[in-house]
Structures are given as C-alpha cells and as structure tokens.
C-alpha cells in the first residue's frame, strides 16, 4: 500500500492539516446511478456529483496554481467528476499530465465507477497517480441491476443484469491491476436501505480478497428527480451495523465528508473563495495561455442568440473593450455537405475566438470545437448576456441544459447523450 500520511481521505490524522482539491474537469458519465443527480452549476448542495463550474484541463491547472497561492497546505489533487474521469479520458489524462508538470510533489488521486478504468491504469500510474477510489455498490448482478438504470461501455448501452455483469467484471478486474502498479485502492459503497445494506459486508469480503486497502461505507443522501428520490436514508444504527460487519474484512474509512466535485480545502472546512475563483477560471479561454480576444455568435439579426450552428452561413464576431462589447465583423462559415471537415475548417476559422454562442448544436461539432480550444455555449436570449458570461463570468439565465458542459437531455433515459 502506498504511504498515505498526507492524504486526508486515507488518513484521518491528516484531515485537520492537509488540504485537498478536486478539479471538476470530467462532466460526462458512463452510467446512470438511480441515486445520482449530477448538477454542473450548483452552489448549495454538498455531495458528490455537483460543482459550480466545469473546467478544461488548462483552466483546471491555471485555477490550481492560483488556489495554491491562497492555500499553503494543499497536499492532494484529485479528479472526482462531476461525472466519471474515465468517461472523459482525454480530459482526465491531459489534466494529470499538466498537474504532474506543475506540481510533481503533490499526491494525485482519482475517483471512478471503474467501468472504463482498466485501459488507463498503466497511463495513470506512469503519471504519478497513487490513490484510486472505485465505487462498488454490490457484487451480485441481481442487486447491481436495481442500482443502475443503464451503463454505457465501448459504445454499447446495457441494462439490467447484463449491464450489471459488465460493470462488475470491469470493477473487480481493476483492483489487482492497480495493486500491481503500487496504487492504494479505496472502495466506496453507498448504503441503500432495503437494496444493498445487507450485502455490503460481502462487497468488503470480495474486494479485500482482491487486494483493496480500505473501504468507505457511505449513507445514501436522497436526491430529488432520481429513481431513488424517495429512498429513506439509513439510520445511524443501520450504518453502524453495516460498517461493523464490513470492518471484519477490510480497514474502514469513517471520516468521509461526501465532498463535491469542486471541493477545495480541509475536509469539512472548505475554502470559502472556491466559487468565485472557479467562475473566474471557467470563463477564461479553454487554454488560458492562448490569446483569443473574440467570441463568435450564431444569430439572425445581431441582437439575439437564436440560430442553430448548422444553419449559420455566417457568424457575428464580437470583442470586449473598455466601452463594452463591440461588433468586429461578420465571418463566413464553411459550406455544408462536407461532414466533420466542415467543423474542423470552422475551428480553424475561429482560432482567435475563445467561445461560440449558439441556439443549437450537434455533438460532433461541439467536440471538434472544444478540442480546438473553443468553448461552446448553447443558449437563447440577448447576445450581450452571453458575452457578459464569457468575458466577465456572469451567469446566463437563458443557458440551455444541453450546452457543451452538460449531458444531453436524454442522459437519464437512453444513455446516448452522456458519453
């Protein structure tokens, strides 16, 4: 087991002196847990799956550098969502690479459902990741099938016990592979009354036999708009019994703070300036080191964001000056009919733009533009409101759910828009 004296999640003695930072760079998820409601613009709730902003890898590291100036006790840097790191493998690996360059002395950790972890174990080990948490809620497919609505693996969607078998196989295979690379493994299990509370000790026995180092049995928090939205939270007596029985097989973590995906500071005592700082860096260019002074807008008349990107023959280009926002030019878009080449050419035409405001956009152009460093914001309403958000970090009241940093509208149903 990797030495963990400075990791507050693995060593209770460190929680009063060593801070951790979660970088919210992984918005997509490849499973739908029946207890999970991911929110990417949430400031009020304190639980996994929520964040006040999503950052690109370059934004994340720039944010971390600034945060490191304000907190002198950061020892751990982690990625825990708000989706799953390995439903966003490119962003996760790029972030870890940049972190290693900037903060080689820090402890690096990841928290995942384990479904798509296996192909990346050697990569993350080489990048210096020393601690990995896998959420395993059951080792019986009939129970697992009650906990997840669907999983998406290798471009296929699975449901029921078939999906349960797929995720379980991948999760369990990862534990010994992580241990071979010297990585400390923690297992999170959510206590779901009437579903798996009686079964978690069997999870503990199974993962301990595979080499897991520590286990965290977490009482479920009911979340509205989920399948388990009305589930009763476990009593203190139930939680105690589950932990006691699990503890017969494996060392337990009992000081979990159920951290947000953007948590920063000491466990249970987060840094109060996180929200403001996150908003500041989320509204920088995707790569803050690049000079991108403009924002492109899909609009019919130049006042409203009201056009789908695919229908736009031209885009309005704006910049910010000391006197407000100014129209720069109307710029032609590549002709339709060339498939993805159209979007690659558009990305090249917009290499001086930090963002594009659209009323609608497809998945492929979003991914292509994002990879080219152009933030895609799907919204309706006044252009000035969108520009104010990009340049000044203001909240867009008319932003749509299916923007570049969110799951598609169908994310709780068919899984097609989530990874």
Residue 221 sits in a domain of what CATH number?
3.20.20.70
Residue 37's pLDDT is 76
Whether 169 and 255 map to the same domain: the answer is yes
Predicted local confidence at residue 417, as pLDDT? 40
Q: What is the pLDDT of residues 266-293, one digit of tens each?
A: 766 666 777 788 888 887 777 777 789 9
Q: How confident is the model at residue 49 (pLDDT cuts 50, 70, 90)?
A: low
Question: Do the domain assignments include residue 149?
Answer: yes
Count structural domains, the chain: 2
- Domain membership of residue 417 (yes or no) is no
Residue 324 sits in the same domain as residue 208: no
How many CA atoms lie less than 13 Å away from 196 in the CB half-sphere? 30
Separation between Cα atoms, residue 319 and residue 324, nearest integer Å: 9
State the pLDDT at residue 128.
Answer: 93
CATH number where 318 lies: 3.30.420.130
Question: Are 156 and 235 in the same domain?
Answer: yes
The model's pTM: 0.76
**One domain, residues 101 and 214:** yes
Is the residue at 419 inside a domain?
no
User: Do residues 84 and 112 make contact, with C-beta atoms less than 8 angstroms apart?
Assistant: yes
The highest-confidence range among 11-25, 95-109, 214-228, 259-273, by mean pLDDT, is 95-109
CA–CA distance, 139 with 200 (Å, rounded to integer): 9
SS3 content of the chain, % helix, strand, coil (to 5): 30, 25, 45
Please give the residue range of the domain that contains residue 348: 294-392
On the question of pLDDT at 415 being above 70, the answer is: no
Q: Are residues 200 and 311 in the same domain?
A: no
Say yes or no: 81 and 158 in one domain.
yes
- The H or E element that residue 131 is part of is strand 129-135
> Are 85 and 198 members of one domain?
yes
Is 387 found in the same domain as 304? yes
212 domain-assigned = yes
Would 178 be classed as within a structural domain?
Answer: yes
- Judge residue 394's burial from the number of C-beta atoms within 10 Å of its C-beta, 0-12 exposed, 13-18 middle, 19 or more buried: middle
Same-domain check for residues 113 and 230: yes
* 103-160 residue pLDDT tens: 999 889 999 999 999 999 999 999 999 999 999 999 999 999 999 999 999 989 999 9
Question: What sign results for the dihedral spanned by CA atoms 289, 292, 293, 298?
Answer: negative
pLDDT band, residue 46 (cuts 50/70/90): low
Residue 213 falls inside a structural domain = yes
Same domain, 268 and 328: no
pLDDT band for 389, please (50, 70, 90 cuts). Answer: confident
pLDDT in tens, 342-360: 999 999 999 999 999 999 9
Q: Give pLDDT, residue 100.
A: 93
Q: How many helices (H) and strands (E) are present in the chain, helices listed first? A: 11, 19
Q: Cis check for the bond before 82: say yes or no (omega within 30 of 0).
A: yes
Backbone angles phi, psi at 389, to 5 degrees: -70, -45
Instruction: Verify that 48 and 157 share a domain, yes or no.
Output: yes
Cα 104 from Cα 186, distance rounded (Å): 22
* Same domain membership, residue 219 and residue 86: yes
């Amino acid at each position: 087991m990797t030495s963990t004296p400075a990791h507050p999640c693995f060593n209770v003695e460190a929680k009063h002196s060593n801070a951790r930072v979660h970088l919210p760079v992984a918005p997509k998820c490849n499973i739908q847990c029946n207890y999970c409601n991911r929110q990417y613009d949430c400031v009020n709730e304190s639980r996994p799956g929520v964040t006040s902003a999503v950052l690109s890898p370059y934004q994340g590291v720039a944010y971390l550098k600034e945060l490191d100036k304000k907190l002198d006790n950061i020892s751990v840097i982690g990625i825990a969502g708000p989706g799953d790191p390995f439903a966003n493998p490119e962003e996760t690996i790029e972030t870890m690479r940049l972190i290693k360059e900037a903060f080689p002395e820090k402890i690096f950790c990841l928290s995942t459902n384990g479904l798509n972890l296996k192909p990346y174990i050697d990569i993350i080990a080489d990048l210096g990741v020393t601690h990995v948490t896998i959420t395993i809620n059951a080792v019986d497919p009939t129970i697992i099938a009650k906990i997840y609505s669907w999983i998406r693996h290798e471009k296929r969607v699975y449901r029921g016990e078939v999906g349960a078998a797929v995720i379980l196989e991948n999760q369990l295979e990862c534990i010994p592979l992580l241990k071979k690379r010297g990585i400390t493994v923690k297992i999170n299990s959510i206590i779901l009354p009437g579903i798996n509370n009686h079964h978690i000790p069997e999870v503990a026995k199974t993962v301990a036999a595979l080499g897991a180092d520590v286990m965290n049995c977490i009482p479920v928090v009911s979340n509205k708009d989920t399948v388990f939205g009305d589930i009763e939270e476990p009593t203190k007596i139930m939680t105690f019994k589950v932990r006691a029985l699990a503890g017969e097989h494996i060392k337990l973590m009992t000081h979990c703070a159920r951290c947000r995906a953007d948590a920063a500071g000491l466990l249970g005592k987060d840094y109060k300036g996180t929200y403001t700082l996150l908003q500041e860096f989320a509204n920088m260019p995707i790569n803050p080191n690049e000079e991108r002074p403009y924002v492109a807008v899909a609009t019919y008349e130049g006042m409203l964001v009201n056009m789908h990107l695919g229908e736009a023959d031209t885009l309005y280009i704006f910049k910010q000056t000391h006197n407000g926002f100014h129209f720069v030019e109307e710029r032609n878009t590549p002709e339709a009919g060339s498939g993805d080449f159209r979007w690659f050419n558009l990305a090249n035409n917009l290499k001086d733009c930090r963002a594009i405001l659209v009323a609608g956009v497809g998945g492929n152009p979003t991914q292509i533009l994002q990879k080219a460093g152009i933030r895609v914001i799907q919204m309706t309403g006044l252009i000035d409101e969108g520009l104010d958000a990009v340049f000044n970090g203001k909240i867009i009241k008319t932003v749509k759910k299916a923007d570049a940093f969110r799951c598609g509208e169908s994310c709780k149903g068919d899984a097609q828009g989530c990874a």
